[in-house]
Amino acid sequence: MQIARASDAGTVEILTRNETVAVEGERLGAEVALVEEWPESHGRFDVVVENANERRGLACALRSLRVGGHCTVTSTHFAGEATIPVLEMYLRGVTVSVGRTNSRHTLEPVLDLIASGAIDPAEVTSEVVTWDDAIEAPLGYTTKLVITRE
């Protein structure tokens, strides 16, 4: 959300089956649709970030791209396989990025956004623990864990 806003992306929409994600998205200023089942598509967008971690969610994300759009898949998809709409993607000339980000490559621009005040990591930090709890804290479920030495 913050990087989208800092990049003048305009409206950010979240389509999710997860109520916690929906509440957090609304808190951050997104337009949110909480659904029981994934639709075939959810409109047409230049950029889609897929984080559903469900096969039908991935297919929905890929079908929701505009011509020339780009989808970044952040889900792990532990099942190992997914059916994707290759012909539809080909006809619209879309691109897909899958895998862990090269954080060294993207770190400097993000640090610049933080330094300028355009984004605030505290808005998405779900848990802060001290160094004394550093061994146990990552074992629990959290989305954005920060470990401090103080």
53: left (phi over 0), alpha (psi -120 to 50) or beta: left
| pLDDT at residue 41, rounded to an integer | 95
Same domain, 45 and 31: yes
pLDDT per position as a tens digit, 42-58: 999 999 999 998 999 99
Residue range 121-126: mean pLDDT, rounded: 89
Q: 92 and 124: one domain?
A: no
Structural domain tally of the chain?
Answer: 2
- pLDDT attached to residue 82: 85
Q: What is the pLDDT of residues 75-93, one digit of tens each?
A: 888 878 888 999 999 999 9
SS3 45: strand
Alpha-carbon distance of 89 to 95, in angstroms, equals 8
Closest listed residue to residue 16, CA positions, set 47, 56, 69:
56
Average pLDDT, the chain: 92
State both tokens at 79: 């099942």
Q: Tell me: the pLDDT tens digits for 9-67?
A: 888 999 999 999 999 999 999 999 999 999 999 999 999 999 998 999 999 999 999 99
35 and 75: one domain? yes
Residues 100 and 52 in one domain: yes
Q: Give the closest residue to 7 by CA, choosing from 104, 96, 109, 94.
A: 109
pLDDT surpasses 80 at 141: no
Do 140 and 78 share a structural domain? no
If asked whether residues 112 and 124 sit together in one domain, one would say no
For residue 140, name the pLDDT band (cuts at 50, 70, 90): confident
Residues in the chain: 150
Domain that holds residue 137: 120-150
The answer on pLDDT for 96 being more than 80 is yes
Q: What is the dihedral of CA 73, 100, 16, 57, to 10 degrees?
A: 40
The larger pLDDT score, comparing residue 115 to residue 99, is at 115
